[in-house]
Amino acid sequence: MRKIMEQHKEKPEILMITQQSLQSENFKEILSRNTGTKITIIDNKNVSYHELIPEKYFLLVDFSVETPSDTLVYLKDNEKVLGKIMLNLGHDLDASELASWPHVKGIFGPNDSMEKLCQGLSAIISGENWLSRRLLDQLVNYYKGKEVHHVVEPAIEVELTRREVQVLQMLKEGGSNMEIADSLFISEHTIKSHLYNIFRKIEVKNRTQATSWAKRNL
């Protein structure tokens, strides 16, 4: 037991977003025991997850359950996150989808074995990536294409109101709709209206893309 505790202290923690259940608790214990890493479950419906966030962590996202976008964006774009790991991803990602998840360290499908998952997590915690060569090649080509596109395309002027800029800044910092509304002393409905207008102006489809845009441009 003492040896396991010492291992946990040496390694960064893993936060696992999934549905809290006896099955997920057993799954967590198996992963923790085989990787020597502390793993904390964040229930996908828990609104009080902020108090569970450590100083530094890897984020393990279970795609077999639905997680509120506010929670997901906050945890995956938090400055404390060392890397993201996708679990039970049931489809192949293209490069643009993968690029919307910066610092992804590994992807595991629903048919991957426990042995492969533990092996991959151990490698990731040690500083390696667990991504296929095909995906890495796609990413390289994707970013090369973006660089060329950036050179040949002129900058596009986007006219945002002062309030829209404030909302984007807070979105960039991981604020939920409710947190942004409280900070600006306006209703959550008004925040949703601002976000609708922002998405239209900067030509994005969701919060993740808007956050990425804000990080590049604000």
Residues 6+ apart with CB under 8 A from 139: 95, 98, 99
Domains, in order of start, for the chain: 2-133 (3.40.50.2300), 162-217 (1.10.10.10)
Decide: residue 86, CB within 10 A, 0-12 exposed, 13-18 middle, 19+ buried.
buried
DSSP annotation of 166 reads H
Token pair recorded at residue 50: 């902020």
Residue 106 Rama label (left phi>0; alpha psi -120 to 50; beta): beta
Is the pTM higher than 0.85? The answer reads no
pLDDT at site 10? 67
Q: Mind listing the pLDDT tens digit for each residue in 23-63?
A: 999 999 999 999 999 999 999 888 778 888 888 999 999 99
Q: Mind listing the pLDDT tens digit for each residue in 124-171?
A: 999 999 988 888 787 777 766 665 444 434 445 678 898 999 999 999
3-state SS assignment for residue 124: helix
Average pLDDT rounded to a whole number, residues 72-87: 88
pLDDT at site 69? 79
* Alpha carbons 206 and 122: distance in angstroms, whole number: 33
Residues 92/69, Cβ–Cβ less than 8 Å? no
Residues 6+ apart with CB under 8 A from 67: 17, 44, 61
Q: Mind listing the pLDDT tens digit for each residue in 80-98?
A: 899 999 999 988 777 777 7
pLDDT at site 5? 46
Four-CA torsion 211, 91, 127, 8, nearest 10 degrees:
90
Token pair recorded at residue 79: 């400055």
CA-derived radius of gyration, the chain: 19
CB count within 10 Å of CB 153 equals 8
* Alpha carbons 108 and 209: distance in angstroms, whole number: 23
Least confident of 8-17, 113-122, 145-154: 145-154
Q: Mind listing the pLDDT tens digit for each residue in 200-213?
A: 999 888 888 888 88
pLDDT at site 147? 52
